[in-house]
Amino acid sequence: MIAMALTLYAHPFSAFCQKALVALYENATPFTVRPIDLGSEADAAALAALWPMRRFPVLVDGDTVLPEATVIIEHLDLHHPGPMPLIPRDRDAAIEARLLDRVFDNDILVPMQKVVLDAIRPAGARDPFGVAQARTALRTAYAWLDARLAGRAWAAGESFSLADCAAAPGLLYADWVEPIPEAFATLRTYRARLLARASYARALDEARPYRRLFPLGDPGRD
């Protein structure tokens, strides 16, 4: 049987695209990137033809079209498994990994994006109250994560998982927006461990040419 080629529609600077890329790189899964520039009408149309919500990443696996990074990683783990299982085989551990995945997406990436996107709004349309709420949400999430991750090598335990794929870009960009306090040594050390992981280091290097696009300015650090 001939294996179908995987194609990932993505942009390297997108946090959610990096999340999917980490999973692919972690298991050296063969795939092709279809770069998407949302400033290009042709690229936007190509993405909309696959996923009308026009969000990336989108994975095409033969006749199967999958949006959303979490769903893509679940699909890869089921249909293209490698030496590193990204969904723990133990059911309780899998629940913990999925919980942490949602926290990194909803409580780290979403408020981070609120602050970033507000910076590119017209001056009269900005939302300082919403930005303050987003920064508070980040600090709340930092405190919860610092306690939850105590004694763990990775987000859900001793093995790298779906949750870490989400955490790597989430904590990279969140720390640029609302620095993780020095008091949260567990979380800061975990972030450093993620940035040093070969799979994320590769995604991070691929994103470097686009750091000038960060609306709050390139912080000059990882």
pLDDT tens column, 30-65? 999 999 998 899 999 999 999 999 999 999 999 999
Phi, psi of 68 (to 5 degrees): 75, 120
Q: What is the mean pLDDT of residues 192-199?
A: 98
**CB 163 within 8 Å of CB 97:** yes
Domains of the chain by residue range: 91-198
**How far is residue 9's CA from residue 17's CA, in Å, rounded to a whole number?**
8
Query: Which of the 8 DSSP states describes residue 108?
Result: I
Whether the pLDDT of residue 3 is over 80: the answer is: no
- 3 state DSSP class of 9: strand
Whether the pLDDT of residue 2 is over 60: the answer is: no
Q: What is the fold, at CATH topology level, of the domain defined by 91-198?
A: Glutathione S-transferase Yfyf (Class Pi); Chain A, domain 2 (1.20.1050)
